[in-house]
């Protein structure tokens, strides 16, 4: 059971890193940041979905990490 949880953690971490890097930061942004300081705006469409997906992956990572501690 511990090996399955370990593999799940690795997959979730890879997806979490990718989803964080794909999020747009400012007008010039993307992968390496950039852009200037802009006013606050609401997330719409794909950006909102990616943001919610990132939050879900973070929660899943915490749950899997706690499960891994209990089975270790």
- Model confidence pLDDT, tens digit, residues 26-55: 545 555 555 555 566 787 888 999 999 999
Map out the domains of the chain as residue ranges: 2-36+44-71
pLDDT exceeding 70 applies to what percent of the chain?
76
pLDDT of residue 32: 57
Question: Tell me, what's the pLDDT at 27?
Answer: 46
Residue 35 has a pLDDT of 52
Q: What secondary structure, in 3-state letters, does the chain show?
A: CHHHHHHHHHHHHHHHHHHHHHCCCCCCCCCCCCCCCCCCCCCCCHHHHHHHHHHHHHHHHHHHHHHHHHHC
User: pTM of this prediction?
Assistant: 0.76
Supply the pLDDT for residue 31: 58
């Amino acid at each position: 059971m511990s090996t399955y949880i370990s593999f799940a953690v690795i997959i979730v971490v890879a997806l979490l890193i990718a989803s964080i890097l794909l999020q747009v930061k400012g007008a010039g942004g993307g992968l390496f940041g950039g852009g200037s300081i802009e006013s606050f705006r609401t997330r719409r469409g794909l950006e909102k979905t990616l943001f919610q997906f990132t939050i879900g992956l973070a929660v899943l990572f915490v749950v899997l990490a706690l499960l891994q501690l209990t089975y270790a």
